[in-house]
Amino acid sequence: MTDTTVTVPTAAPPATARGVRVRGLRRAFGDREVLRGVDLDLAPGEFVALLGASGSGKSTLLRAVAGLDTEATGELDVPERRAVVFQEHRLLPWTRVWRNVTLGLTGRDLRARALQALEEVGLAARADAWPSTLSGGESQRVALARALVRTPELLLLDEPFGALDALTRLKAQGLVARLWQRHRPAVLLVTHDVEEALLLADRALVLADGRIAEEFAVDIERPRPVDHPRFTALRRRLL
Ligand code: ADP
Ligand code: MG
């Protein structure tokens, strides 16, 4: 087997890109305080993993950073253009794949924009399919395309590969690595998978007791195993 893959050079984030600054973020459900003063910074274009036990508040934090939680309090400075991918793809079953990708967008050439984003996740051929005909991995790739089409400065991923089988997950991780290299949004990846954090992120944070309890740099040089040519070649054979 010969390695024919060319490693994609890592682009720099756009000079105008904004990062994330969160200070003293709090959120309680009844008398249960889930977030008790979270401070969080992401540089533009930085890939950060957020680890934590189940129930530690990772999704609560991600929803707050996404601007989806009106009851969280604290200082929140996040880019306008942000996109979220959840563990469940949340595609609307009654509208075709490409329309799901551009849902809520207005303007011209929506189909062309959808096709371009679908191309990036390898699913342009399924543009006119119904979501119910897609596999789990394909659905998540469509959800990624729906995020990409918004050219996010901040991409929020909440255990996006948690429900996928191991090989499909490997493929999806490789895809996210390549998309990040190409577009360089800041990424906050929620995961409880330490290996995934090491594979993809520059830095990992651990959420515990309602705060960022620990932080470590992932000082493994790129290319990481996930975008190593051998891996890519293997992935192509298996998937
Ligand atoms: P994680 O994503 O780390 O598994 P979550 O952020 O989903 O954790 O949840 C953290 C805690 O907050 C859990 O105890 C959960 O039951 C609670 N929680 C989350 N959302 C709600 C809600 N809408 N109402 C009540 N409790 C909630
Ligand atoms: Mg969660």
Nearest to 185 by CA among 50, 77, 83: 83
Under the banding of pLDDT at 50, 70 and 90, the label for residue 229 is confident
Q: pLDDT for 81-139, tens place per residue? A: 999 999 888 999 999 999 999 999 999 999 999 999 999 999 999 999 999 999 999 99
Under the banding of pLDDT at 50, 70 and 90, the label for residue 2 is very low
CA-nearest residue for atom 22, ligand 1, is 29
CA-nearest residue for atom 13, ligand 1, is 55
Under the banding of pLDDT at 50, 70 and 90, the label for residue 12 is confident
Task: Quote the pLDDT of residue 239.
Answer: 63
Tokens 């800041």 belong to 186
CA-nearest residue for atom 7, ligand 1, is 59
The complex scores an ipTM of 0.98
Q: Is the pLDDT higher at 195 or at 84?
A: 84
Which of 25, 26, 27, 29 to mutate to test ligand 1, by most ligand atoms within 8 A of the CB atom? 29
Ligand 1 midpoint to CA 4 (Å):
45
User: Phi then psi for 44, rounded to 5 degrees?
Assistant: -55, 135
d(CA 8, CA 134): 28
Q: Facing residues of 27 across strands?
A: 35
Ligand 1 midpoint to CA 13 (Å):
33
Under the banding of pLDDT at 50, 70 and 90, the label for residue 219 is confident
Q: pLDDT for 38-64, tens place per residue? A: 999 999 999 999 999 999 999 999 999
Instruction: For residue 144, give the amino acid letter.
Output: L
Q: Is the peptide bond before 223 cis (omega within 30 degrees of 0)?
A: yes
Q: pLDDT for 27-38, tens place per residue? A: 999 999 999 999
Q: Which helix (H) or strand (E) holds 40?
A: strand 32-42
Ligand 1 midpoint to CA 97 (Å):
30
Per the prediction, the chain carries an average pLDDT of: 90
Ligand 1 midpoint to CA 191 (Å):
15
Nearest to 65 by CA among 216, 163, 195, 189: 189
**H helix count then E strand count, the chain:** 7, 9
Q: Is the pLDDT higher at 219 or at 181?
A: 181
Ligand 1 midpoint to CA 159 (Å):
14
> Residues near ligand 1 with C-beta < 6 Å?
29, 34, 52, 54-60
Task: Quote the pLDDT of residue 9.
Answer: 53
Q: Is the pLDDT of residue 1 over 60?
A: no
